[in-house]
Structure 1
Amino acid sequence: MLFFFGNAMAARAAGRPVWLFSRAKRRDWWAALGFRAAFALALLGPLLWGAFPTLHNLDPFWIEGQALALGGVGVFLAGIGAMVAFAAQMSMGASWRVGVADGATGALVSGGLYRFSRNPAFFGQFILLLGTALAIPSLPTLLAPLLFLWSATAQVRSEEDVLRQALGAEYDAYAASVPRWIGLP
């Protein structure tokens, strides 16, 4: 819900739509599909497993409340991930976009969480999905962060190309001084 609220606020600040997935091509189209599938797996997988015992009986990871400490750690991580992702989204302001399109970049944001990572929103979303996988271990929730990571990596490559074309040396200097992921050059 925070993600959609943030999108509405960013669209209002930018004075134009921020949802660019409809303009996605090639690898960006696959990345957009992967993002959607990852969150659908994380949300709907446990619901389906709960509703249809045959599914969770076949899942070797489904432990149905047998690891409360792991579940607590997962809930904590999911909450931290959601907060990091939302904080990163909010600090982008009018520069926030969902997807990649030529000519649809905003000003470079390099403060706040963006001092530590060029992609803190993706980092937070990954932690949210990882926390979900720990809180509700199942095949769908374990696949979700892996699919998300693949999608984010693909989209980041496209974003970097577009930002490099639009912002030139300013983006190159930022990319040289801040890792793509937190702590990972």
Structure 2
Amino acid sequence: MIIAALVLFGVYMLLGFGIRTWVQLRHTGDSGFRGISGHPGDPEWRAGVLFVVALLAGLLGPIAALAGLDAVAVLIHPAIQAGGMALALIGITATVLTQVAMGTSWRIGVDDTERTELVTTGPFALVRNPIFTAMAITGIGLVLMVPNAVALAGAGLLLVALHLQVRVVEEPYLVRTHGEDYTSYAASTGRFVPGLGQLRL
């Protein structure tokens, strides 16, 4: 299961970041990569750094298992590992599909000088951040495949990082860029889960 987790992590990074960036570059002439927002020490910068660290931590769980770190005993069960693999596969697939639904508006990071189309259809009609929801599902699935302390800490970091990235970076940018169009959309659409986290006007 450790090797399977490493393979799925590699597929996830390849599809969700590598190939997606290549597709964006081919279709628009722009990679869509905007990097970490803000200046060192700013809340936006800290959120971005934590996001990168959390992604890397997803790799450290299986590596720690290969190095001999034991799994958390209560989570060692074939059904849990199989369920984790299913969740990871669902999350990877959902990540790719939601990125496709975002079209040429897809970006990694934000640039205050640029205005992209506000996408509110497809999976974005259900939640405002379906890519991040899919990433969280993937992360949880990978942890359940190799449930050691390092993997669990990485999953916790990922959930915190996704929340901060949305609250500190993405949402303020969208409010500044799209104004009432975004606030009206956000008031009726959940942040990560349908019906939860609507923006209060």
TM-score of the aligned structures, taking structure 2 as reference length: 0.81
Distance 1:24 1:125 in 2: 23
Between the two proteins, what is the percent identity of the paired residues? Answer: 30
Q: Shift of residue 149 of structure 1?
A: 1.5
Match of 1:48 among 49, 60, 64: 64
Distance in 2 separating the partners of 1:22 and 1:179: 25
Distance 2:48 2:184 in 1: 28
Unaligned runs of 5+ in 2: 1-13
Q: Which runs of 5+ in 1 are unaligned?
A: none
TM-superposed CA distance for 1:22, in Å, is 4.5
Say whether residues 1:154 and 2:167 are aligned partners. Answer: no
- Counterparts of 1:54-93 in structure 2 under 5 Å? 56-57=69-70, 61=72, 66-93=76-103
Q: Distance in 2 between matches of 1:63 and 1:70?
A: 10
Residues of 2 paired with 1:112 and 1:137: CA distance? Answer: 33
**Structure 2 residue 31 is matched with structure 1 residue 17:** yes
Q: Compare 120-129 and 163-172 and name the one that shifted more.
A: 163-172
Which of 80, 97, 102 is matched with 2:107 structurally? 97
Between stretches 10-19 and 132-141, larger displacement belongs to 10-19
Output the amino acid matched with 2:26.
R
Structure 1 distance, partners of 2:28, 2:164, is 25
| CA offsets 1:53-78 (integer angstroms, 9 cap, x no match) | 2xx15xx62689x4111100000001
2:51 is equivalent to residue 31 of structure 1: no
What CA RMSD, in Å, does the superposition of the two structures yield over aligned residues? 2.0
Q: CA deviation at 1:105?
A: 3.6
- What's the CA shift for 1:135? 1.0
Flag the 1:13–1:172 CA change in 2: closer, same or farther, 3 A: farther
**Count, aligned residues:** 179
Amino acid at match of 1:7: T
Instruction: Give the structure 2 partner of residue 2 of structure 1.
Output: 15
Counterparts of 1:11 and 1:154, CA distance in 2: 27
**Whole-Å separation in 1 of the counterparts to 2:33 and 2:187:** 28
Query: Normalised by the size of structure 1, how large is the TM-score?
Result: 0.87
